[in-house]
Amino acid sequence: MTQSTAPSSGTPSATALSAEEVATIRADFPYLERPSRNGEPLAYLDWAATSQKPAGVIATEADFYRTSNGAAGRSTYQLADEATATFEDARDAVAAFVGARGSELVFTKNATEAINLVALSIGHASLGRPAAHGGGPAAADDPSRRLVIGEGDEVVVTRAEHHANLVPWQELCARTGARLRWLDLTEDGRINTATLDVITERTRVLALTHASNVTGAISPLDLILPRAQQVGALVVLDTCQSAAHLPLDFRALKVAGVDAMLLSSHKMLGPTGIGALVATEELLAAMPPVLTGGSMIEVVTMESSTFMSGPPRFEAGSQPLAQAAGWRTAVEYLAGIGLDRLHATEQVLTRHVLDGLIQTPGLRLIGPTGTNDRVGVVAFSMEGVHPHDVGQVLDAAGVAVRTGHHCAQPIHKHFGIHASSRLSFGVCSTPEEVDRFLSAIADVRRYFQR
């Protein structure tokens, strides 16, 4: 499955973007017009945390408020009709970008809410109902049965998860009596396929990252998903670190056993305040609503209510209309670049930075040392230097990186550290920025060795 969603070798199958093409892309990003703290152009290397926005995305969001702001789905006047059309067109566009249908995409305020939406729906479905162990034919005949878990059932995650794809499942297990288990990691931070035996007939949910936000390692879906399919587990895939860097196809992922995946707009050149749950129509039909109120209802009386079907069932209240419009522009921009070519470009940059860091005395790479099956995320620690100090020295040199535990404490514990420094690439990243980063890293060594 890895092969069908991302290049799996160190030699990209697509051609990397030329320097001229990257320069054209960079001209679209206003953040490059402002100087960094030292007066030089900013070398922004924190795309895994949040992406910068092209001018077109900013303009789309502003234009919506300027010309089309209305109450979507709530009236028939012109502005309301335009707002409704904008929202639904954005749904179709974002869904199509990842090979899904609009009827399979629920807008949320972020990817964290999308994960919680699934976990809380499972918890709601399990209230007062006995657990039905295992999947199989019975669950296929009654999709809602797949959502019922309790004592004796298990939820499987990985040690590489962002807290957003770990804590909600911990809470679900605490509420239902299910047991949380996890796929462990190899020495270099990849998922250890020798631990696949934690996926058993008791596994009701498998929630895993597509690409680690610490090591950049891509999960071996081709080995993991067949095991989950065999036991009928519900599979939730976190694509926050892959959707803006690798071609994804939800159609193929569904065949392989993925029931739902999560998207984050602000990591995909889009606005903050919006994300999405992409899920099969069967799963959405089986999930009880979690947030209730206006817009998601059919009939309301003083005694009870009935709820809409499909994505609107989970979109209570006023929605982020301008943000949805901006996200549509963002995915169209990414599609124009071509994610296969972007991935090839980022692999070249990743190789460049790895070669430089490997030669740095006292520096430890956190994760694989090669470019196979990884995205452009590289974490590291420096002997005797706190990551925050590393970040401050780099900031003084006009280089922006992430420091801390990156909302992933368990994987840091796996490496025997509390925190790390991390750089990550995006559509504007260049070899020159990597060189500035490596030069600043040398300054860190000189400064703290005095």
Query: Catalytic annotation on 407?
Result: yes
Give the Cα separation of 258 and 281 in Å (integer). 12
What six digits make up the tokens of 16?
């990397």
Q: What is the pLDDT along the chain (450 residues), one digit of tens a residue?
A: 333 343 333 344 799 999 999 999 999 999 999 999 999 999 999 999 999 999 999 999 999 999 999 999 888 899 999 999 999 999 999 999 999 999 999 999 999 999 999 999 999 998 866 655 555 444 545 668 899 999 999 999 999 999 999 999 999 999 999 999 999 999 999 999 999 999 999 999 999 999 999 999 999 999 999 999 999 999 999 999 999 999 999 999 999 999 999 999 999 999 999 999 999 999 999 999 999 999 999 999 999 999 999 999 999 999 999 999 999 999 999 999 999 999 999 999 999 999 999 999 999 999 999 999 999 999 999 999 999 999 999 999 999 999 999 999 999 999 999 999 999 999 999 999 999 999 999 999 888 865
What six digits make up the tokens of 235?
């599979």
In the chain, domain spans: 2-51+338-448, 59-335
Residues 6+ apart with CB under 8 A from 220: 2, 190, 191, 193, 373
pLDDT of residue 326: 98
pLDDT of residue 136: 47
Neighbours of 450 (CB within 10 A): 4
- Residues 351 and 375 sit within 8 Å (Cβ to Cβ): no
- The whole model's pTM is what? 0.94
The domain 59-335 is classified under which CATH number: 3.40.50.10860, 1.10.3660.10, 3.40.640.10, 3.40.50.1820?
A: 3.40.640.10
- Which helix or strand (DSSP H or E) is residue 277 part of? strand 275-279
* Model pLDDT for residues 8-27, shown as the tens digit of each residue: 333 447 999 999 999 999 99
CATH superfamily of 2-51+338-448: Aspartate Aminotransferase, domain 1 (3.90.1150.10)
Q: Which entry of 173, 240, 407, 428 is annotated as an active-site residue? A: 407
Residue 314 burial by Cβ neighbours in a 10 Å radius (0-12, 13-18, 19+)? buried
